Amino acid sequence: MRIIPAIDIIEGKCVRLSKGDYNTKKIYHENPLEIAKAFEDNGIEYLHLVDLDGAKSQHIINYKALESICTKTNLKVDFGGGLKSDEDVRIVFESGANQITGGSIAVKQPEVFKGWLKKYGANKIILGADCKDRKIATSGWLETSKLDVVDFIKKYEQEGVKYVISTDIAKDGMLLGTSNKLYKEIMNKSNVKLIASGGVSNIEDLIQLKKLGCEGAIIGKAFYEGNITLSQLKELC
Q: Which tens digit of pLDDT belongs to each residue from 128-170?
A: 999 999 999 987 777 888 999 999 999 999 999 999 999 988 8
Asked if residue 49 has pLDDT above 80, the reply is yes
**Minimal CA–CA distance to 189: which of 227, 233, 237, 152?**
152
Say what the pTM is: 0.94
Q: For the purposes of burial, counting CB atoms within 10 Å of the CB of 164, is it exposed (0-12), middle (13-18) or buried (19 or more)?
A: buried
Spell out the domains of the chain, with CATH numbers in brackets: 2-236 (3.20.20.70)
> Catalytic positions, please?
8, 130
pLDDT tens for residues 168-214?
Answer: 888 877 778 899 999 999 999 999 999 999 999 999 999 999 999 99
- Rg of the Cα trace of the chain? 16
Assess contact for 36 and 8: CB atoms under 8 A: no
